[in-house]
């Protein structure tokens, strides 16, 4: 690793030791959330005797709300307290999570664990995202986000499979959560060796224009008014809305069809595994092709797969559909962050990424609430169909509102920035 007093350089090759360390740390971050994906809905039914779907999905609601808020403040604080400090704080919040799940005597402990998990994910994942963007500079953002998100979601897949297998062999508790203790300790220790990237931000600012010209972007510009950023933001929310549904309801849907915990864990792992691997390809594609095309195709494929799940019944069919859902998500996930970084003024980049991630991860809470109510009222199939339809509608918004960066900018309100 270069000496800490050496002058900073932009680019993946110049910063590969630091970049690689951040990729590994983000894998530990992803592994923490993957710990829950196979077994927590079953834990709610079998050990805490929850029946209502909305009650079972309450852990995703609190996770999504907490992570969304943490994302926002991570972006706002990144320049004040430093990226590395945010990363370390995120891991301090993550340390108690597996212990709370391991010892939980009531569902309230699980809810408390997911508040801490949301803080861990929001602060730690956001920090690794922003630092990687800082390191590589403007020409390799898609590649950087593909590597970052790939590591995170491959770890989600690995721990989802591992926890499902451990639960099948040894029971829902305690063995699956021992894995989480190791992940949390490794993530915190690895973060101690990270260097802050504020000097790389200063170098980029000195070498290139500060980004799109015009007045600073407001919260509502990023949320909706800016045609490109607004399109990306709504798609991010809907993407995580359907991911929250898959996380919370798919294990219950598969259990109702008689699948074993190992089969459920394999299906739950297939989706983020393809999602993670696919981003190694789709991340670099975001540096070469129109981001609108990738986002539209990915959201449309996700919606079509979710609607097709209504008619699936066999284990092989769900494996194939989970893989296709992973392809659709891989098409959009690194592109989200690459697009936000492209359209954001440099001075506001960390804050705008925080606003986007606020809305994106609020999708977990919205999805869990919506699908829980629909599942209790109309059944699991109705919830699945509704979320599939919303995902198709999100693709239509992208097609209607978004423009490629090479096109002429659309006319915007005074508070907007041209693309």
DSSP for 167-181 reads HHHH-SSSHHHHHHH
Bigger pLDDT: 342 or 316? Answer: 316
Cα–Cα dist 145/276, whole Å: 11
Per-chain mean pLDDT for the chain: 88
134-152 core/surface letters (b: 16 or more CB in 10 A; e: else): bbbbbebbbbbbbbbbbbb
Q: Which pLDDT band holds residue 418 (cuts at 50, 70, 90)? A: very low
Number of other CB atoms surrounding residue 109 within 10 Å: 16
Residue 288 pLDDT greater than 90, yes or no:
no
Number of other CB atoms surrounding residue 160 within 10 Å: 30
Closest alpha carbon to 87 in 26, 148, 140: 26
Cα–Cα dist 98/106, whole Å: 15
Q: Is 155 helix (H, G, I), strand (E, B) or coil?
A: helix
Mean pLDDT of 126-148: 86
* pLDDT given at position 218: 92
Establish whether the linkage from the previous residue to 155 is cis, with ω within 30° of 0.
Answer: no
Cα–Cα dist 191/84, whole Å: 7
Cα 371 to the center of its chain, rounded Å: 19
* pLDDT given at position 325: 97
Q: Which pLDDT band holds residue 164 (cuts at 50, 70, 90)? A: confident
Cα–Cα dist 48/42, whole Å: 9
In which residue are the tokens 């039914």 written?
45
Residue 16 pLDDT greater than 50, yes or no:
yes
Cα–Cα dist 39/171, whole Å: 10
Mean pLDDT of 194-209: 81
Question: Residue ranges of the domains in the chain?
Answer: 16-401
Provide, rounded to the nearest whole percent, the portion of the chain with pLDDT above 90. Answer: 53
Q: What is the CATH number of domain 16-401?
A: 1.20.1250.20
Q: Is 293 helix (H, G, I), strand (E, B) or coil?
A: helix
Q: How far apart are the first and last CA of the chain?
A: 38
**Rounded (5°) CA angle 5-9-13:** 115
Q: Which pLDDT band holds residue 214 (cuts at 50, 70, 90)? A: low
Closest alpha carbon to 334 in 360, 304, 300: 360
Q: Is 250 helix (H, G, I), strand (E, B) or coil?
A: helix
Residue 303 pLDDT greater than 70, yes or no:
yes
Q: Could you tell me if 123 and 86 are in contact, meaning their C-beta atoms sit under 8 angstroms apart?
A: yes
Q: Is 295 helix (H, G, I), strand (E, B) or coil?
A: helix
Q: In angstroms, what is the C-alpha Rg of the chain?
A: 20
Mean pLDDT of 229-239: 97
Q: Which two tokens stand for residue 243?
A: 């991911």
Cα–Cα dist 327/103, whole Å: 36
* pLDDT given at position 1: 43
Kindly state the helix (H) or strand (E) to which residue 358 belongs, with its residue range: helix 349-378
Q: What are the distances in angstroms from CA 212 to CA 340, 346, 408?
A: 12, 8, 13
Mean pLDDT of 246-262: 87
* pLDDT given at position 347: 77
Closest alpha carbon to 315 in 304, 326, 323, 307: 323
Cα–Cα dist 336/296, whole Å: 11
Bigger pLDDT: 408 or 241? Answer: 241
């Amino acid at each position: 690793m270069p000496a800490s007093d050496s002058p900073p350089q932009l680019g993946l090759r110049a910063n590969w030791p630091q970049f690689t360390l951040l990729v590994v740390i983000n894998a530990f971050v992803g592994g923490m959330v993957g710990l829950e994906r196979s077994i927590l809905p079953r834990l709610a039914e079998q050990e805490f005797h929850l029946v209502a779907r909305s009650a079972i999905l309450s852990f995703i609601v609190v996770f999504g709300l907490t992570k969304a808020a943490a994302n926002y403040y991570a972006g706002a604080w990144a320049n004040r307290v430093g990226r590395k400090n945010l990363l370390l704080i995120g891991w301090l919040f993550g340390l108690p999570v597996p212990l709370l799940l391991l010892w939980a005597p009531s569902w309230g402990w699980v809810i408390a664990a997911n508040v801490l998990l949301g803080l861990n994910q929001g602060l730690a994942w956001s920090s690794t995202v922003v630092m990687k963007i800082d390191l590589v500079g403007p020409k390799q953002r898609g590649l950087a986000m593909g590597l970052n998100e790939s590591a995170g979601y491959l770890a989600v897949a690995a721990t989802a499979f591992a926890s499902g297998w451990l639960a099948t062999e040894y029971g829902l508790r305690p063995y699956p959560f021992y894995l989480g203790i190791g992940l949390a300790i490794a993530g915190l220790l690895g973060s101690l060796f990270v260097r802050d990237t504020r000097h790389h931000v200063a170098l980029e600012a000195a070498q290139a224009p500060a980004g799109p010209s015009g007045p600073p972007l407001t919260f509502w510009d990023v949320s909706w008014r800016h045609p490109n950023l607004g399109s990306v933001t709504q798609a991010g929310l809907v993407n995580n809305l359907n991911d929250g549904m898959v996380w919370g309801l798919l294990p219950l849907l598969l259990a109702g069809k008689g699948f074993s915990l190992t089969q459920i864990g394999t299906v739950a792992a297939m989706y983020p595994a393809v999602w993670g691997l696919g981003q190694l390809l789709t991340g670099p594609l975001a540096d070469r092709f129109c981001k609108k095309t990738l986002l539209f195709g990915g959201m449309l494929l996700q919606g079509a797969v979710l609607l097709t799940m209504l008619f699936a019944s066999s284990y092989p069919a769900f494996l194939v559909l989970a893989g296709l859902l992973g392809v659709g998500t891989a098409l959009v996930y690194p592109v989200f962050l690459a697009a936000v970084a492209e359209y954001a003024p440099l001075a506001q980049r960390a804050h705008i990424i925080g606003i986007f991630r606020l809305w994106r991860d609020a999708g977990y809470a919205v999805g869990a609430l919506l699908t829980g109510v629909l599942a209790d009222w109309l059944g699991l199939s109705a919830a699945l169909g509704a979320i599939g339809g919303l995902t198709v509608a999100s693709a239509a918004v992208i097609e209607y509102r978004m423009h490629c960066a090479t096109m002429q900018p659309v006319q915007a309100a005074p508070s907007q920035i041209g693309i």
